[in-house]
């Protein structure tokens, strides 16, 4: 009985506590920089698309909401012909970001993606691609990988020695 009265009193005292509600549309909640929200595709420091259309994100995605088609440009750089994310299925797990070998696909702290029509939640490459480098500035996949593309031959990547002639016996 006494504990009941004490409970009543403590609850009554909550009248003078600060309210914890964040009045959302007027007042925004703080989202950490690594919050998993709207997905973007980022670019190299020199402006090329980072995505190499390896399909790893599409494979990693637990709900299969990424669809893409690989193609190659005149320099031998692979890139996605189309890249489509169906956000009405995406669960913002971030697996795609973890799977991506080139830091191309990234999740951003933006959650305000409401739409009245479901088809509007399907984002095409135009909607996803941004003009910056996102969370990993300075990283350029084609400059660190040993793949040969137009304008960069074998052995010319960063931290890469000249190629070894495997037919020679001398070390």
Partner 1 sequence: MTSPYPILAILGILVVVMTLAAGLIWLERRLLALWQDRYGPNRVGPFGLLQVLADMIKIFFKEDWIPPFADKVVFVIAPAIIVGTVLMSFAVLPIAPGIIVSDLNIGLLFILGMSSIGVYSVVLAGWASDNKYSLLGGLRAAAQMLSYEVFMGLALMGVVLLAGSFQLSEIVSAQRRVWFVVPQFAGFILFLIAGVAETRRLPFDLPEAESELIAGFHSEYSGMKFGLFFVGEYLGVILISSLITILFFGGWMGPVLPPIIWFVLKMMFFICFFILLRAALPRPRFDQLMSWGWKVMLPLALANLLITGAVALAWG
57 binds ligand SF4 (CB under 6 A): yes
Decide: is 116 part of the binding site for partner 1 (CB under 8 A): no
Asked if 29 touches partner 1 (CB under 8 A), the answer is no
Q: Which two tokens stand for residue 110?
A: 């933006």
The closest alpha carbon to 96, from 136, 39, 151, belongs to 39
Nearer to ligand SF4, 101 or 155 (CB): 101
Which H or E element spans position 72?
Answer: strand 66-72
Among partner 1, ligand SF4, none, what does residue 65 contact (CB within 5–8 Å per kind)? ligand SF4
**Part in contact with ligand SF4 (CB under 6 A); list of ranges 10-18, 59-67, 124-132, 159-167:** 59-67
Of 8-16, 40-48, 109-117, 156-164, which part binds partner 1 (CB under 8 A)? 8-16
The answer to whether 39 and 90 have CB atoms below 8 angstroms apart is yes
Burial classification of residue 165, based on how many CB atoms lie within 10 Å of its CB (0-12 exposed, 13-18 middle, 19 or more buried): exposed
Q: Which does 90 bind (CB under 5 to 8 A by kind): partner 1, ligand SF4, none?
A: ligand SF4
Cβ neighbour number for residue 61 with a 10 Å cutoff: 20
Give the DSSP per-residue string, 128-148.
Answer: HB-SS-TTSTT--HHHHS---
Residues of the shown chain interacting with partner 1 in the complex, contacts defined by CB under 8 A: 4, 7-8, 10-12, 14-15, 17-21, 23
């Amino acid at each position: 009985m006494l504990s009941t009265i004490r409970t009543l009193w403590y609850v009554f005292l909550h009248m003078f506590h600060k309210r914890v509600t964040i009045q959302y549309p007027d007042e925004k909640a703080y989202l950490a920089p690594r919050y998993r929200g709207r997905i973007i595709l980022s670019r190299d420091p020199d402006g090329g698309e980072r995505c190499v259309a390896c399909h790893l994100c599409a494979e990693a995605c637990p709900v299969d909401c990424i669809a893409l088609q690989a193609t190659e440009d005149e320099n031998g750089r692979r890139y996605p012909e189309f890249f489509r994310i169906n956000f009405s299925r995406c669960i913002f797990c971030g697996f795609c970001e973890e799977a991506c070998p080139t830091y191309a696909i990234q999740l951003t702290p933006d959650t305000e993606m409401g739409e009245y029509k479901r088809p509007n939640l399907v984002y095409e490459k135009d909607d996803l691609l941004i003009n910056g480098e996102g969370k990993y500035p300075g990283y350029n996949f084609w400059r660190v990988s040993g793949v040969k593309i137009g304008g960069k031959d074998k052995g010319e990547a960063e931290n890469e020695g000249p190629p070894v002639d495997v037919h020679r016996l001398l070390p």
